Amino acid sequence: MSANGLITEHADGCPRCWWPGLDPVYVAYHDTEWGVPEYDSRALYEKLILDGFQAGLSWITILRRREGFRRAFQNFEPERIARFTDDDVERLMGDTGIIRNRAKIRGTISGARAWLAIEEAGPGFSDFLWDFCDGRPIQTNARSRADIATETEVSKRIGKALKQKGFTFVGPTIVHAFMQAVGMVNDHLVGCHRHAPCAALGETSRS
């Protein structure tokens, strides 16, 4: 195992980024989701909300509760969440399957309403986000943890635009983590077995 922010060789022979460690849930997430370009507007909303819930916590904490979040927030369907009332907020505050934070719960609801407004105004939430990087993933070609930013000028611009639209918990660090997760930035280390496949996906036309 590597704790110095470099490539880690796993027992299956695959070299990986250091951060998932040996946790099978985290390794599966690293191998199948993180860095894969996501263009579905609903899925992007879900991931942005979950990254907001992560604030002050580790991502694995959220990942282990993801199904609980999906159940509690009705599969993150913005049309349904936008209709949540104060009674729903209180219900969610009693739900042990999620992180019970009132401000983040209310932010999920206001974010759903903002998402709907963006969708209705056009060109849609996915295009709204991806236009900040000209529709293509940013390839950083990082070789160690030291080469990976925690925030960028792009994440600052996106966070500011999201806040203006009505989203909360969208500071530049949270937004950059979101961008890494949904493939707007390919921050898999060079040498990680997922770096090249995610870079290749970035060359594929949006569907």
| Between 187 and 122, the higher pLDDT residue | 187
Mean pLDDT of 139-147: 96
> How high is the pLDDT of residue 1?
45
> How high is the pLDDT of residue 205?
52
Find out whether 192 is annotated in a ligand binding site.
Answer: yes
pLDDT in tens, 4-17: 688 999 999 999 99
CATH of residue 121's domain is 1.10.340.30
pLDDT in tens, 109-134: 999 999 999 999 999 999 999 999 99
Q: Which of 180, 108, 186, 194 minimizes the C-alpha distance to 151?
A: 180
Find out whether 133 is annotated in a ligand binding site.
Answer: no
Write the CB contacts of 168 (distance below 8 Å, at least 6 apart in sequence): 52, 103, 104, 106, 107, 110, 111
Q: Domain for residue 142, yes or no? A: yes
Mean pLDDT of 128-155: 97
Q: Are 143 and 191 in contact (CB under 8 A)?
A: yes
Tokens in use for 55?
């604030």
- Domain residues for the domain of 64 are 24-204
How would residue 87 be classed by pLDDT, with cut points 50, 70 and 90?
Answer: very high
Q: Domain for residue 10, yes or no? A: no
Q: Domain for residue 9, yes or no? A: no
* Helices and strands (H, E) in the chain, number of each type: 11, 4
How would residue 3 be classed by pLDDT, with cut points 50, 70 and 90?
Answer: low
> Residue 94 above 80 pLDDT?
yes
Task: State residue 192 phi and psi, 5-degree precision.
Answer: -70, 140
Write the CB contacts of 92 (distance below 8 Å, at least 6 apart in sequence): 72, 73, 98, 100, 105
Q: Domain for residue 94, yes or no? A: yes
Find out whether 193 is annotated in a ligand binding site.
Answer: no
Q: Domain for residue 5, yes or no? A: no
Q: Domain for residue 7, yes or no? A: no
How would residue 48 be classed by pLDDT, with cut points 50, 70 and 90?
Answer: very high
Q: How many domains does the chain have?
A: 1
Q: Is the pTM of this model over 0.75?
A: yes
Q: Domain for residue 12, yes or no? A: no
> How high is the pLDDT of residue 203?
85
Average pLDDT of the chain, as a whole number = 95
Q: Domain for residue 89, yes or no? A: yes
